[in-house]
Amino acid sequence: MKITGAKVFVGGPAKNYVTLKIMTDQGVHGLGDATLNNRETLPAKYLQDYLIPNLIGMDPRNSEDIWQYFYRGAYFRRGPIAMAAFGAIDTALWDIKGKLANMPLYQLFGGKSRDGAMVYAHATGADLPDLMDSVASYVEQGYKAVRVQCGIPSMPTASYAVPDKKGGEGDYITDYSGIIPKTEIWDTDRYMRYMPSALMEVREKFEPDLKILHDVHHRLSPREAAAFAKAVEPVGLYWLEDPTPAEDQDALRLIRQHSTTPIAIGEVFNSIWDCNKLIENELIDFIRVAATYGGGITHLKRIIDLAALHHVRTGFHGAPSHSPISMAAQHHLNAWAPNFGIQEYLVLGTKECDALFPSAHVMTDGMFYVSDAPGLGVDFDEKEVARYEYKAGSHPIVRLEDGTMWDY
């Protein structure tokens, strides 16, 4: 069996999804997602110029060897662009494997460990009452877990993932007005003073069974993060996410020494080498590496298995920039993984998105149920994608009030 061709598409409703389609001489094709939010053209180019010419003629069933060929074969390896491109190839090869076996992917991993997998939504508010309305609407829809973020009084601008105005909707992560980013102003002291009591108010307003998550988005020092994690202990968070800048694996040690608040980290990691020490030293509770820029299913499975040895559960990144293809890869892993925790899930399910990526997967009452269709169980409509053009977008940048650059 041979790979005969591969195509890359960039576009989609509201997002620039990077979709890879690998064709074979047996008529079976596989799909992968190489979307790297706000840098989408780069993995697409990496695939087109370097990886696809090497793929032609390979046996798609040898997904392990193909992964090693691209990873070990590259002298300059790792990094989100390369790993997103490998990830897309790897996911597409698993999709082909599932279709050849006529089995849904979770069966190839070891079958189902659960019927449905719990997901969490993003509740957000310009201020605390606005956030309460947002949480209430998710609770009404049956969600069992929500991530909560809200504006901080006296902060000069909105903070991470918070709308400018009450009831604000839309994409609060990517600004599609262009490639030049807007600036957010950050003040750690105001955040530290305000957020623990705001989180406590959310806890008191809703049923104790509601799982509450909060994302610091890499903005605290290890000492501040330790103090914050300790201060929010009475809230009983399901997790505190990215408390410190992600590059420093040792930073988590101080937090652990001072608090039992569960810690989730990893959405910007792209290999097992970015999180192996965190996992082996049991400094985190949830690992968030995504199938997309974490090198696909082959590599993510290795991370899941290492994590399982150390009581670390999964909580894969699922921001709206992941297309339904890489989300399906994660949903199949979630159905199988013995150490599954939770899945971040933003409803992409607009009519346009469903038309581009038809599937029979179901999310209901805050639980995700994978379909039994072979492979990933997601299709891709090439005619639909032709409707969309690439649009440049940017994440905000963050500065302190005196102008100092800070972490987004």
Interface residues toward ligand CS2, by CB under 6 A: 37, 173, 215, 217, 267, 317, 319, 321, 344, 395
Judged by beta carbon distances under 5 to 8 A according to partner kind, the member of Mg ion, ligand CS2, none in contact with residue 332 is none
Do the bridges between strand 367-369 and strand 117-125 make them parallel or antiparallel, or are there none, so unpaired? antiparallel
Which of 301/395 has CB closer to ligand CS2?
Answer: 395
Q: Report d(CA 163, CA 236) in Å as an integer.
A: 26
Q: Which of 103, 169, 175 lies closest to 137, judged by CA?
A: 169
Q: Which does 144 bind (CB under 5 to 8 A by kind): Mg ion, ligand CS2, none?
A: none
Phi, then psi, of 82 in degrees rounded to 5: -65, -45
Question: In the Cβ-directed half-sphere of 264, how many Cα atoms lie within 13 Å?
Answer: 26
List, as one string, the DSSP characters of 258-295: H----EEE-TT--SGGGTHHHHHTT--SEE---TTTTT
Where do the DSSP E strands lie in 160-300? 183-186, 211-215, 239-241, 263-265, 286-287
Residue 106 C-beta: closest distance to ligand CS2, Å: 24
Query: Using CB distances below 5 to 8 A depending on partner kind, what does residue 321 bind out of ligand CS2, Mg ion, none?
Result: ligand CS2
Which pairing describes strands 397-400 and 211-215: parallel, antiparallel, or unpaired?
A: unpaired
Shortest gap between Cβ of 395 and ligand CS2 (angstroms)?
Answer: 6
Residue 141's contacts (CB-CB under 8 Å, 6 or more residues apart) are 121, 365, 366
Nearer to Mg ion, 271 or 321 (CB): 321
Question: Measured from the CB atom, is 168 or 358 closer to ligand CS2?
Answer: 168
Nearest to ligand CS2 of 99, 219 (CB atom): 219
Residue 114 interacting partner from Mg ion, ligand CS2, none (CB closer than 5 to 8 Å by kind): none
* Residue 184's binding partner out of Mg ion, ligand CS2, none, with CB under 5 to 8 Å set by partner kind: none
Segment (H or E) for 109? helix 105-109
Q: Which is nearer to Mg ion, 33 or 267 (CB)?
A: 267
CB of 319 to ligand CS2, least distance (A): 3
Q: How far is the CB of 5 from ligand CS2 (least distance, A)?
A: 31
Residue 182 DSSP label: P
Place of tokens 């009030």: 401
CA distances from 218 to 168, 400, 406 (A): 24, 14, 10
Which residue lies nearer to ligand CS2 by CB, 174 or 259? Answer: 174
Q: How far is the CB of 113 from ligand CS2 (least distance, A)?
A: 24
Minimum CB distance to Mg ion, residue 318 (Å): 10
Tally of residues, the chain:
408
CB burial of residue 260 (10 Å; 0-12, 13-18, 19+): exposed
Contact status, residue 360 vs residue 324, Cβ threshold 8 Å:
no
33 contact choice in Mg ion, ligand CS2, none (CB below 5 to 8 Å, kind-dependent): none
Residues that bind Mg ion (CB under 5 A): 215, 267
Kindly tell me which of 267 and 384 has the beta carbon lying closer to Mg ion: 267
CA distance 386 to 361: 24
Catalytic residues, which ones?
160, 217
Sign of the CA dihedral running 272, 275, 78, 108 = positive
Q: Which does 203 bind (CB under 5 to 8 A by kind): Mg ion, ligand CS2, none?
A: none
In whole angstroms, give the CA distance from residue 48 to residue 347: 30
Enter the tokens of residue 303: 């991370």
Q: Which is nearer to ligand CS2, 322 or 332 (CB)?
A: 322
**Burial state string for 22-34 with b = 16 or more CB within 10 A and e = fewer than 16:** bbbeeebbbbbbb
> Considering the complex, what minimum distance in angstroms separates the CB of residue 242 from Mg ion?
5
Minimum gap (Å) between residue 57 Cβ and ligand CS2? 35
173 binds, among Mg ion, ligand CS2, none (CB under 5 to 8 A by kind): ligand CS2
